[in-house]
Amino acid sequence: MDNSSELRQRILALVQAFYEAEHAAAPFVPGESEVPISGRVFDAAELLNLVDASLDFWLTTGRYAEQFEREFAQIMGVRHAMLCNSGSSANLLALSALTSPKLEERQLQPGDEVITVAAGFPTTVNPIVQNNLVPVFLDIELGTYNVAIENLEAAISPQSKAIMIAHTLGNPFNLDAVMEVANRHNLWLIEDNCDAVGSLYHGRATGSFGHLSTVSFYPAHHITMGEGGCVLTSRPQLKKIVESFRDWGRDCWCAPGIANTCGKRFDWQLGDLPCGYDHKYIYSHVGYNLKLTDMQAAVGVAQLQKLPHFTELRQRNWQYLYNGLKPYEEFFVLPQATTHSQPSWFGFLLTVREDAPFSRQELVRYLDERRIATRL
């Protein structure tokens, strides 16, 4: 073992010791310890990977990102996973990709309509507006809190070109119905899967049904990198377009720090440019720079190993809350899983009935006084 390898092992051994000294789980004291809405769950593996990647000092996307993309795509049942810096950026990339001229007659044009829901996170809708498209809002149904399917067909117009809907709090929307409408009207489908990693529909992972899907790795979500997001697809053309928009809009598909993967970097004839113009510096889209660092991806690689256990715990915790609140159903509309689904729940959504003897504000205050966090 050379000196640098030995030093790396000594550093990582100290990181393990530091984790045990600094981050050991504190005992839970009912009534005193806070019950958070969400948050990071980690052990020494995440710290070890983070420091290991830091020692490489490869500050942009690198070996850990490549490993994560490969393993995550396999877990999700798709061909391609493209990391980016947030779930919101993933939504922006997914929708922007559909505006690419490379899609020819299926390219989204300014003024085209994108069907979405009226109650959801803003960055599901923001990319529609940012791309000069028109959001068409649909209501949701109580219980599943997903799109009210009976309104979907009526929302279709000659300008409809895409559907972009989230799986609310990990509960899959009715993919059978949405996909039937999308296929019949030749619409693009983007699944906002940011709240639903680990959820299944007909035994298949959500995020694998649409033309594109998106994921968030913010600390509140199912697995985390601190910040981070991902776009998923099984279509090679969409993969290349998403990567182009993510990486400044460039046409070259080489990984960061790598050149001439195609073996003919200086041999292309590209439009009216001089023959042999450097393909690595050709830009075919008005893109962004939304890449992830390898340090973040290193944390994600460790988190991936925990995903099955996290999913099991989320389902168990949801059932515990449901069983405890079931006797009080006269006061609450309790959440319910979509037919044919196995949600990896992101939260437990309660609706206070209009005739309940207390208000939503009173319930929130009651829980807050007992250090049980809530959010609207």
pLDDT of residue 1: 62
pLDDT (tens digit, 9 = 90+) per residue, 324-340?
999 999 999 999 999 99
The residues assigned a catalytic role are 221
Joined tokens for residue 31: 């009534």
Shared-domain flag, residues 188 and 69: yes
Shared-domain flag, residues 177 and 63: yes
- Residue 38 domain-assigned? no
E-strand ranges in the chain read: 80-84, 113-117, 134-138, 160-166, 188-192, 200-201, 204-205, 212-216, 229-233, 332-333, 341-342, 351-352
Residue 338 belongs to domain with CATH number: 3.90.1150.10
Residue 195 belongs to domain with CATH number: 3.40.640.10
Tell whether the model's pLDDT for residue 281 goes beyond 90.
no
Shared-domain flag, residues 345 and 289: no
CA distances to 99, 244, 253, 265 from 275, rounded to whole Å, are 28, 22, 19, 11
Shared-domain flag, residues 147 and 269: no
From 215, 148, 152, 199, select the one nearest 179 (Cα to Cα): 152
Give how far the C-alpha of residue 50 lies from the chain's centroid of Cα atoms, to the nearest Å.
21
Shared-domain flag, residues 331 and 341: yes
Q: Compute the average pLDDT of residues 24-33.
A: 86
Joined tokens for residue 194: 């940011």
Shared-domain flag, residues 166 and 263: no
Shared-domain flag, residues 206 and 86: yes
Check if the beta carbon of residue 182 is closer than 8 Å to that of residue 188: yes
| Alpha-carbon dihedral sign for residues 175, 181, 186, 191 | negative
Q: Classify residue 80 by its DSSP letter.
A: E
Tell whether the model's pLDDT for residue 257 goes beyond 80.
no
Distance between CA atoms of 274 and 269, rounded to whole angstroms? 7
- Residue 363 domain-assigned? yes
pTM score over 0.75: yes
Of 2-11, 90-99, 365-374, highest mean pLDDT: 90-99
Joined tokens for residue 368: 């807050």
Average pLDDT, rounded, for the chain? 95
- Which residue has tokens 């830009």? 283
- Residue 40 domain-assigned? no
- Residue 31 domain-assigned? no
Check if the beta carbon of residue 138 is closer than 8 Å to that of residue 186: no
Cα dihedral value 295, 298, 304, 309, nearest 10: -80
Shared-domain flag, residues 228 and 201: yes
Shared-domain flag, residues 271 and 170: no
- Residue 17 domain-assigned? no
- Residue 206 domain-assigned? yes
pLDDT (tens digit, 9 = 90+) per residue, 327-375?
999 999 999 999 999 999 999 999 999 999 999 999 999 999 999 999 8
pLDDT of residue 16: 97
Shared-domain flag, residues 164 and 271: no
Shared-domain flag, residues 291 and 238: yes
Hey, how many other C-beta atoms are within 10 angstroms of the C-beta on 31? Answer: 7
Q: Which residue range is the domain that position 351 belongs to?
A: 308-369
Count of structural domains within the chain:
3
- Residue 3 domain-assigned? no
- Residue 330 domain-assigned? yes
- Which residue has tokens 């969409």? 238
State in Å, rounded, how far the first CA of the chain is from the last one.
55
Shared-domain flag, residues 225 and 94: yes
Distance between CA atoms of 296 and 306, rounded to whole angstroms? 16
